[in-house]
Amino acid sequence: MDTVTKLEQFLSNLESSKTPNEIQTLVESLRDTYGVTNAVYHAVNLDGAPYAALTYTPEWMDHYQEKKYVQVDPVVRGALQHFHPMDWKRLDWSGKGSRAFLGEATDAGIGNQGLSIPIRGPNGQFALFTVNHQCNDNEWGKFTAEAKRDMMLISHYIHQQVVKIVLPDGPREYTQLSPRETDSLKFLAVGLSRGQIAEKMHISEHTLRVYIDSARHKLGALNVVHAVATAYSRGLITF
């Protein structure tokens, strides 16, 4: 199954999911479809409570909580400070506690490579989406080059679907985008560069930036990827 088909199939299944159990099954299928060791979605402060769908073993989760590894986990620290995807190799693992945590995580089959994507929403919503894998740097570099965009989009789609399930009575009054704003996000979604989009739309890159920023503001998105994901989930753009 090629990358586009994998993404489309996952999004189709995600859109039809109605229960937390279905989200859990989808996260498991995501792990298997993309051939990674683990996939994890963990949200806090959804309706005042945490929410998780993941492929870690219960034994590892109990051990993580017992050891209070959240206090030394560089992924958690980084997610609270940053908005952008984080490759685990670029995080600070120099602390004694962090090194001990990494060693135990690797022994538990977590995987020595990882990509974590912070997600923030209204009213203090925060979630973290992670895929990790046991492989060398060359293999991981190939995976991230091919699948990083998918993972970024999927992370926001999962969060939005979970919010719909957990908070079914939440606000649904959406601002509409102009045709130019819609086109800008649609072309970004299919991977065109800003230069290519500006040429295709017969506008300057400065004007394109105005349309993108306007769309992002209307959608309440934190960044362009979030704007694309939000527009897609609301049916404003299609691939």
Q: Are residues 20 and 103 in the same domain?
A: yes
The CATH number covering residue 117 comes to 3.30.450.80
Give φ, ψ of 127 to 5 degrees: -140, 160
39 token code pair? 């996939």
Specify the pairing of strand 86-87 against strand 49-54: unpaired
Amino acid at 128: L
In a domain, 239, yes or no: no
Tens digit of each residue's pLDDT (9 = 90 or more) over 112-124:
999 999 987 765 5
pLDDT digits 0-9 by tens, 56-86: 999 999 999 898 888 889 998 888 777 789 9
Predicted TM-score (pTM) of the model is: 0.71
Asked whether residue 187 falls in the same domain as residue 160, the answer is: no
Q: Could you tell me if 112 and 20 lie in one domain?
A: yes
Q: Is residue 60 part of a domain?
A: yes
**Cβ neighbours around 32 below 10 Å, total:** 10
Asked if residue 188 and residue 151 are part of one domain, the reply reads: no
The C-alpha atoms of residue 222 and residue 68 are separated, in whole angstroms, by 30
Considering the domain architecture, whether residues 160 and 195 belong to the same structural domain is answered as no
Note the pLDDT of residue 71. Answer: 82
CATH of the domain at 187: 1.10.10.10
Query: Could you tell me if 75 and 144 lie in one domain?
Result: yes
pLDDT attached to residue 52: 93
Distance, CA of 52 to CA of 44 (rounded, Å) = 9
How far apart CA 26 and CA 96 sit, in angstroms, is: 36
Q: Rounded distance, CA 143 to CA 148, Å?
A: 8
Confidence (pLDDT) at 63: 92
Residue 196 CB partners (closer than 8 Å, separation 6+):
187
Q: Looking at residue 49, what DSSP letter applies?
A: E
Q: What b-and-e string marks burial along 158-176, b requiring 16 or more CB atoms within 10 Å of the CB?
A: bbbbbbebeeeeeeeeeee
In which residue ranges of the chain is pLDDT below 50?
Answer: 171-172
Q: Among candidates 73, 225, 55, 44, which has minimal Cα distance to 151? A: 225
Is 199 a domain residue? yes
Which pLDDT does position 171 carry in this prediction? 47
Give the pLDDT confidence score for residue 173 in this predicted structure. 52
**Same domain as 110, residue 220:** no
Q: What is the largest CA-CA distance in the chain?
A: 58
- Together in a domain, 134 and 190: no
Q: Are 199 and 132 contained in the same domain?
A: no
Q: What is the mean pLDDT of the chain?
A: 87
DSSP tag of 213:
H
> Which structural domain, as residue segments, surrounds residue 212?
179-233
Q: Is the residue at 174 inside a domain?
A: no
Strand partners, 14: none
Strand 126-133 with 86-87, pairing? unpaired
